[in-house]
Amino acid sequence: MIKNVYDDEVPKVVTIQETIIETPTVKTFVFPFEITEDIHPGQFVMVWDLTNEKPMTISIIDRENNLMGITVRKAGPFTNNMYDNVDVGDKIGIRGPYGHGYDLSDYKKVLAVGGGSGIASLAPLLSFYDNVELISAASTKDELVFVDRFKKEGISVHECTDDGSCGFCGFSTQLAEEMLAEGDYDIIVGCGPEIMSYKLLELSEKYDVDCQLALDRYMKCGLGICGQCCIDDTGYRVCVEGPVFDKEQLSQLSEFGKYRRDAAGSIVKY
């Protein structure tokens, strides 16, 4: 019998072991998963709630205990259902991991910038590398994610809020520029709203440091087949060549920081 190349690309059903209410709109789900050497921060999985399937970045990679975590923000029917109705003991399907993650093996000092729930993409970096300084940003104190988790792990985090309710008052990119001007960082890594990410690319050029940024695009298959997440002008597929792109790749993207495409392929400007 001939085996189909995608026979293995079916969801692995897992049982939720722990849930963490991060904020009034953000929740983390932890479940058993074999953490192999080819699983890296910045990758994503396709999550099946037994009805629908959506891509979610991996927010916890625990190799010692073979645990994985995903973090969802209430933003629509799928994530609302996950937040409100999925809890410890419930089952979900996990397909993946997929995509290209962060590679910081050649850098001495890293500045990581996470905006809102984009911090989920960066969180596993802190258990893989010990040379990362992190900016965690949100609109207000109540929306900062993973603060307690980072403190328990003894990680120093620069908190940043738009309204000044916690830490630095202003945008994450403003704080990042202050730190770049004073520090000797080799690279900026980031994940958050695309306007933020585009500014980080500009800062990397201004201060002559490298950068790796995670981008978000509408995905359907996660395998690079459907082409839904292709980026102008390169045709890079976010699910395969990304979600994390380096400085050279980012400079080739004509749509970066300007627009994205919705489920129908129509342009949506930022």
State the pLDDT at residue 8: 56
| Res. 264: pLDDT tops 90 | no
Average pLDDT rounded to a whole number, residues 71-82: 94
Domain stop point among 98, 131, 146: 98
Residue 42 within any structural domain of the chain: yes
State the pLDDT at residue 2: 41
* pLDDT tens sequence across 24-53: 999 999 999 999 999 999 999 999 999 999
* C-alpha–C-alpha distance, residues 51 and 141, integer Å: 34
Query: Are 161 and 191 part of one and the same domain?
Result: yes
Query: Are 106 and 205 part of one and the same domain?
Result: yes
Residue 24 within any structural domain of the chain: yes
State the pLDDT at residue 239: 95
State the pLDDT at residue 148: 78
Query: Are 43 and 127 part of one and the same domain?
Result: no
Q: What is the pTM of this model?
A: 0.93
110 pLDDT tier (thresholds 50, 70, 90) = very high
Average pLDDT rounded to a whole number, residues 82-102: 96
Domain that holds residue 76: 12-98
Query: Are 207 and 240 part of one and the same domain?
Result: no
* C-alpha–C-alpha distance, residues 234 and 52, integer Å: 30
CA atoms within 13 A on the CB side of 210: 16
- CATH number for 138: 3.40.50.80
Residue 54 pairs in a beta bridge with 47
Average pLDDT rounded to a whole number, residues 102-121: 93
265 pLDDT tier (thresholds 50, 70, 90) = confident
State the pLDDT at residue 5: 40
